[in-house]
Amino acid sequence: MARIGVFVCHCGENISRTVDCSGVAKALADHPGVAVSMDYKYMCSDPGQNLVKQAIEEHALTGVVVAACSPHMHEKTFRRAASQAGLNPFVVEMANVREQCSWVHEAGPATDAKAIDIVRTIVEKVKNNAPLETVRIPLTKRALVIGGGIAGIQAALDIADGGAEVVLVEKEPSIGGHMSQLSETFPTLDCSQCILTPRMVEVYQHPRITLYTHSEIEAVDGYIGNFHVTVRKKARSVDERLCTGCGDCQAACPNRKIPSEFDAELGTRPAIYVPFPQAVPNIPVLDRENCTLFKGRAKGREKDLCGKCKEACLRSAIDYEQQDELIDEKVGAIVIATGFKLYTIGREQPEGLSGYPEYNYGEIPDVISGLQFERLASASGPTGGRIVRPSDGTVPKRVVFLQCIGSRDPEKGISYCSKICCMYAAKHTMLYRHKVHDGQATVFYMDIRTAGKGYEEFVRRAIEEDGADYIRGRVSRMYRDGDTVKVVGYDTLAGEPAILDADMVVLCTAIRPHKGNKNLGRKLSVTYDQYGFISSAHPKLRPVETTTAGVFVAGACMSPSDIPDSIASASAAASKVLGMFSGDELEREPTVAIVNERTCIGCFNCEKVCPYGAIEHIDVCNRDNEICGHVARVLPGVCQGCGTCVATCPSKSVELQGFTDEQIFAEINALLTW
């Protein structure tokens, strides 16, 4: 026979102002199975919790219902108290008479009646509650970091410095990401590479970091604490153990006119190349698509057309026959730090976006992107830091910067603000004026958004000290006018047209997610937003967690972020990982689904609908111990207790612990009966 205790909380006046709390307690005292019922001003206070503990002992209660606030507030508090009094915590439930009653109704008999109904339904539920045990999961104290930009580097170093091993996977031949392409960084104007490259070297030399560059995530299996990751290490055509990074192969390559990705296509590189001098690792990669030898082989030539790099290599490190390698790694936590890419204004656009025909789709050579400007301004760039026009190599005397290209432009497919452009446009005007003293920098903007430490001061400095002209308005059209670019804009503050002749135009293009995010999201059961940015588990309270337990997120793959933001979120993700690694096992709430393996028909509808990949197949054997079929099993470490499988199961073989059919029907019955 159930012996339930009911504890009605006044919540100061939050509940008692509109609900007759002692009346509710009295009404419940007569309810079948209720052994004790009382009310108190603050049930969550120490004296209140003691009332609950005493009652459990005195009345040998089998279940507890606290009529108070939402379970999100204090369920844990009362379950802990009950546990201290020797009761299984999972027979304690909250009846929410605050958010769902006192806060949303006027005082009166109907409100009291509703409060009583709410408490009764929970009492009936608790009668059916089973004592549950916390789920314990083994834990591999090793983390995978996907992406070797500044966010991935920071997360990897923080986790490794905290004592755990890290596997860092980077798609490109070198780590460093976009930050390595920047000339100087705002708001301090310190050299980007000077602050980044020591961190890159630290990663390379760290005893607890395993680095895979030119590699991608092939597959991910398992669940929190126990992920199995397959890494595809793409063929570099260079034996990393033999290569010393001397650069002889690069110098020997005859195919030197390939647009350099690192220089945003303003410079060129050979087919075998190290992307930039400070690359980590300093080992070249052979771009097979552009290599004469491989192009010949692809066309079926029997005799190789080239082989200059192999001839030049004194260490015999060049290996044309090298294949992609698949490497298995076991990790307990994953940090996604895949970074961003930039919107391009060209005619060809990915699905959902469109270009800028009114700006001639960027087909004017002296209209460049912000990243290209970074390369022009960078000492390591194709011009050695001289700011010149791509068309004729002359120094531009009038440079116009257009902000919000793609950003805040729903017509082109992007509604959001890219956040960093206001700052880098201001930085560009400074870099330009510091190099071209008689040059005029003009910025077309819509709003200046610079909320960050020292940011507003930085933009004011660009305007007040370095003389950048700021014009509020979007540009309507650009076209080539002889040697110059005609920029047709409007100054909305002056109420006058602003039609400028520019020698060069810099487009501050929007930040976009990598298209690979969606694929990666599917592999990890992580959700992404409408644009393809990885979603946080909660935008405010759980910013670096994802919807999958054990998978964290950092940097610009979540939303447009500058360097300080990326580093902050990377360190936050690292601290989450280290927190998870602080025990020897993981504990999870037992509100997970379980499959009745006797009645399961093996249709695996549950597997199709499970958003978390928590369903596994298990073999069913006959008496002779031969496999005769398969049924589903829920991995308790992965299941998030959403209940979708329960609703889908045609044979009613799945139940969600803590929310079983009996419990739900008991609640409904309570409403219909009393």
Partner 1 sequence: MESSTLHSNEDDIASAVVRHQEAHGAPHVPASSVRMSLIDEVYARSGVNVRTCYQCGKCSAGCPMMGEMAVRPHVVMHLVQRNQRAEALSCDGIWLCLSCETCSARCPKSADPARVIDTLREMATETNPGLAPRAIGAFNKTFLDQIRSKGRMSEVGLAMQFNLRSGRLLQDATSMPALVSRGKLKINPPSMRDIDDVRRIFANVEAATRDARSKGGYR
Partner 2 sequence: MSLAYYPGCSLHGTAREFDESMRAVADALGIEMTEIDDWSCCGASSAHSSNHLLGVALAARNLALAEAEGRDAVVAPCAACFSRLAMARQEVAEDEELAASLPGILERPFDNTVDVLNVVQLLLPYAESIRELVADGPGFSAVGQMKVASYYGCLLVRPVGVAGADDTEVPTTMEQVASACGAQPVAWNMAVECCGGSLSMSRTSSVVRLGRAIIDDARRAGADAIVVACPMCHANLDFRQVARAEDGGTVPVIYLTQLVGLALGIDAEKLGLNRHFVDTSPLLVELADRATSAEADAAAKAAAKATRAGAVV
Edge-first strand order for the sheet with 226-233 is 215-223, 226-233, 325-331
User: Is residue 489 part of the contact set for partner 1 (CB under 8 A)?
Assistant: yes
Please report, as residue ranges, which positions from 150 to 189 form the binding site for partner 1 (by CB under 8 A). Answer: none
How far is 468 from 415, CA to CA, in rounded Å? 27
Can you list the positions of beta strands (E) in 294-415? Answer: 325-331, 333-336, 340-342, 367-369, 398-405
Distance of CA 543 to the CA centre of its chain: 9
361 is a contact residue toward partner 2 (CB under 8 A): yes
Q: Which does 490 bind (CB under 5 to 8 A by kind): partner 2, partner 1, none?
A: partner 1
Nearest to 284 by CA among 250, 254, 322: 250
User: Tell me, what amino acid is at 176?
Assistant: G
* Binding partner of residue 480 among partner 2, partner 1, none, CB cut-off 5 to 8 Å per kind: partner 2
Q: Look at residue 475 and give the partner it binds from partner 1, partner 2, none, a contact being a CB closer than 5 to 8 Å depending on partner kind.
A: partner 1
Range 482-501, binding partner 2 (CB under 8 A)? 486
Q: Does 482 bind partner 1 (CB under 8 A)?
A: no
Q: Which is nearer to partner 2, 41 or 477 (CB)?
A: 477
By rule CB under 8 A, what string of x and - marks binding of each residue 490-519 to partner 1?
xxx--x-xx---------------------
For partner 2, give the closer residue by CB, 26 or 477: 477
Binding partner selected for residue 409 from partner 1, partner 2, none, CB under the kind-specific 5 to 8 Å limit: partner 1
Q: Does 480 bind partner 2 (CB under 8 A)?
A: yes
Instruction: Give the nearer residue to partner 1 in terms of CB position, either 57 or 496.
Output: 496
Can residue 358 be called a binding residue for partner 2 (CB under 8 A)? yes
Nearest-angstrom CA–CA distance, 367 and 355: 14
* Contact yes or no for 7/94 (Cβ under 8 A): no
Quick check: 650 binds partner 1 (CB under 8 A)? no
| Tokens (6 digits) for 555 | 């940097």
Beta-carbon contacts of residue 513 (< 8 Å; ≥ 6 apart):
340, 341, 528, 531, 532, 533, 534, 557
**Residue count (the chain):** 674
Q: Residues with Cβ < 8 Å from 351, sequence gap 6 or more?
A: none
What is the C-alpha to C-alpha distance for residues 353 and 470, in angstroms, rounded to an integer?
28
Q: Which is nearer to partner 2, 46 or 348 (CB)?
A: 348
Task: Figure out which of the listed residues 13, 99, 358, 501 binds partner 1, where binding follows CB under 8 A.
Answer: 358
DSSP letter for 536, please.
P
Q: Which does 310 bind (CB under 5 to 8 A by kind): partner 1, partner 2, none?
A: none
| Cα separations in angstroms, 669 against 111, 590, 630 | 20, 25, 36
Asked if residue 103 binds partner 2 (CB under 8 A), the reply is: no
The one segment of 330-338, 370-378, 408-416, 647-655 that binds partner 1 by CB under 8 A? 408-416
With contact defined as beta carbons under 8 Å apart, do 209 and 160 qualify?
yes
Interface pattern 436-475 for partner 1 (x via CB under 8 A)? ----------x-------------------------xxxx
Closest distance between partner 1 and the C-beta of residue 488, in Å?
6
* Of 88-96, 201-209, 254-262, 358-366: span binding partner 2 (CB under 8 A): 358-366
Query: Which residues sit opposite 326 in a β-bridge?
Result: 232
CA distance 267 to 557: 27
Q: Does 108 help bind partner 2 (rule: CB under 8 A)?
A: no
**One of 352, 357, 497, 583 touching partner 2 (CB under 8 A):** 357
What's the closest the beta carbon of residue 493 comes to partner 1, in angstroms?
A: 9
Only one of the segments 56-64, 355-363, 501-509, 562-570 lies at the binding site for partner 2 (rule: CB under 8 A); that segment is: 355-363
Distance CA 536, CA 13 (A): 36
473 binds, among partner 1, partner 2, none (CB under 5 to 8 A by kind): partner 1
> Which of partner 1, partner 2, none interacts with 360 (beta carbon under 5 to 8 A by kind)?
partner 2
CA–CA dist 436, 633 (Å, integer) = 68
Q: Which is nearer to partner 1, 510 or 595 (CB)?
A: 510
Which residue stretch of 383-391, 475-483, 533-541, 575-583 sits at the interface with partner 2 (rule: CB under 8 A)? 475-483
Q: Does 275 bind partner 1 (CB under 8 A)?
A: no
Judged by CB under 8 A, the stretch of 19-27, 478-486, 565-573, 627-635 that binds partner 2 is 478-486
361 binds, among partner 2, partner 1, none (CB under 5 to 8 A by kind): partner 2
190 to 187, 372, 375, 419: CA distances (angstroms): 8, 19, 15, 20
* 665 sits near partner 2 (criterion: CB under 8 A): no
Q: CA end-to-end span of the chain, whole Å?
A: 20
From the CA atom positions of the chain, what is the Rg in Å?
32
**Can you state the angle between helices 109-127 and 661-673, rounded to 10 degrees?**
150
Does position 409 interact with partner 1 (CB under 8 A)? The reply is yes
- 72 or 347: whose CB is closer to partner 2? 347
479 touching partner 2, by CB under 8 A: yes
Instruction: Tell the smallest beta-carbon distance from residue 354 to partner 2 (Å).
Output: 10
Per CB under 8 A, 352 contacts partner 1: no
CA distance 250 to 238: 12
- Beta carbon nearer to partner 2, 313 or 485: 485
> How many positions of this chain bind partner 1 (CB under 8 A)?
22
Q: Which is nearer to partner 2, 254 or 357 (CB)?
A: 357
Considering only 325, 481, 501, 585, the residue that binds partner 2 (CB under 8 A) is 481
Cβ atoms of residues 298 and 309 within 8 Å: no
360 lines the binding site for partner 2 (CB under 8 A): yes
At closest approach, how far in Å is the CB of 266 from partner 2?
Answer: 24
Contact 641, 593 (CB under 8 A): yes
Question: Residue 621 and residue 566: Cα distance in Å, rounded?
Answer: 52
Asked if residue 474 binds partner 2 (CB under 8 A), the reply is no
Question: Rounded CA gap, 348 and 355, in Å?
Answer: 7
Q: Which DSSP string do the residues of 439-482 spell out, in sequence order?
A: -EEEEEES-----STTHHHHHHHHHHTS--EEEES---EEEEET
- Quote the distance between the C-alpha of residue 229 and its chain's center: 18
Cα separation values, 310 from 237, 248, 276, 296, 298, Å: 10, 10, 21, 16, 19
Contact positions vs partner 1 (CB under 8 A): 358, 404, 408-412, 446, 472-477, 488-492, 495, 497-498
Contact positions vs partner 2 (CB under 8 A): 357-358, 360-361, 477, 479-481, 486
